[in-house]
Amino acid sequence: MKVWAETEVVEIDRRRVSFKVAAYDERGLIGEGTHDRFIIDVEKFIAKTEAK
């Protein structure tokens, strides 16, 4: 059976990006939810981890 997901960006708040997510199969909706991701400064992150 074919399965796919659809996502939509619903909010951008400074470094946080919020998504609405839904998964479907050939019979219809099988799950839905929200997901947040944070944008990081990679150089700053690596510097902090190396300092530990």
- Can you give the residue range of the structural domain that contains 41? 3-51
pLDDT value for 52: 84
CA distance 28 to 47: 46
The model's pTM is 0.74
* Of 3, 49, 9, residue with least CA distance to 27: 3
Q: What SS3 state is found at 23?
A: strand
pLDDT in tens, the chain (52 residues): 999 999 999 999 999 999 999 999 999 999 999 999 999 999 999 999 999 8
CATH number of domain containing 33: 3.10.129.10
* Structural domains in the chain (count): 1
